Amino acid sequence: MIWFTSDLHLGHRAVINFQDRPFGTVEEMNEALIKNWNFLVAKNDTVYILGDISHRCPVEEVNAMISKLKGKKILIRGNHDKEYDASLFEGIYDYYDLRGVASVSISLMHYPMLEWNRSRHGSLHLHGHQHNSSSYNEEMREQGIRRYDVGVDANQYCPVSLNSILEFFQIDK
């Protein structure tokens, strides 16, 4: 299975208040995000992380947390990402076009784009960065825009599956 997520902000105490996340401490948040991820993701699944794995946390601590996350991880860098241990990832990119896994092509980037590859031909754009609520994704769909925020703040602090996104936009697999 293929999953997407972004903006975990592991180790970032202030994001709890900035985003009104339902955690009392950064340790509780880190633990919940890792637990949610590992509950859904299987060992052989692939997870595209669309940036901002952490913020304001020593890279050694972040690498230790990343190593606890199940699945084959591919990082699309965000504005807060550090030089993590590259061996923890199958690949690290700034932008990535995902093709051949669905009936549409999918453009992946940390930042939301107004236009993306094949956007006028039914492709999807998945992003993070904005820390939207789930209503953002509903608004995009209502406006006929095939853009989806995969960030944890918009997805109940969990990764979201490719199948769920395709179903959300009523796209055949």
Domain definitions of the chain by residue range: 1-167
Number of separate helices (H) and strands (E) present in the chain: 5, 9
Q: Is residue 156 left, alpha or beta, with left meaning phi > 0 and alpha meaning psi from -120 to 50?
A: left
Strand partners, 48: 4, 74
| pTM over 0.95, yes/no | yes
Alpha carbon distance 117, 138 (integer Å): 22
Mean predicted lDDT score pLDDT of the chain: 97
Q: Is the pLDDT of residue 105 over 90?
A: yes
Could you read off the pLDDT of 16-41 as tens digits, one per residue?
A: 999 999 999 999 999 999 999 999 99
- Per residue in 112-141, pLDDT (tens digit) is 999 999 999 999 999 999 999 999 999 999
Within the chain, strands assigned E span 2-5, 46-49, 72-76, 91-93, 95-98, 106-109, 124-127, 147-149, 160-161
95, containing H or E segment: strand 95-98
101: Cβ contacts below 8 Å, ≥ 6 apart: 2, 162
What CATH number belongs to 1-167?
A: 3.60.21.10
Structure token pair of residue 127: 């992003």
